[in-house]
Amino acid sequence: MTAFTVFDPATGRILRTGFVDCENVQAQAQSGEAVLPVESDWSKHCIKDGLPALKPRTLQDYIVATRIHRDALLAASDWTQLPDVPLSTKSTWAAYRQALRDITNQPDQLAIEWPVQPV
**Domain boundaries, given as residue ranges, for the chain:** 1-55, 56-119
pTM, two decimal places: 0.55
Segment 18-59, tens digit of pLDDT: 888 878 888 898 998 888 877 666 566 677 776 667 676 778
pLDDT at 6 over 90: no
Beta bridge partners of 7: 14, 34
Mean pLDDT, residues 1-30 taken together: 83
Residue type, 100: L
Instruction: Give the angle 99-115-103 at the CA atoms, nearest 5°.
Output: 50
Could you tell me which of 45, 37, 34 has the C-alpha nearest to residue 7? 34
Sheet containing strand 34-36, strands side by side: 14-20, 2-7, 34-36
Query: Which has more confidence, 1 or 80?
Result: 80
Query: What is the bridge-based pairing of β-strands 2-7 and 34-36?
Result: antiparallel
Segment 59-114, tens digit of pLDDT: 887 888 788 889 989 999 999 999 999 999 999 999 999 999 999 899 988 889 99
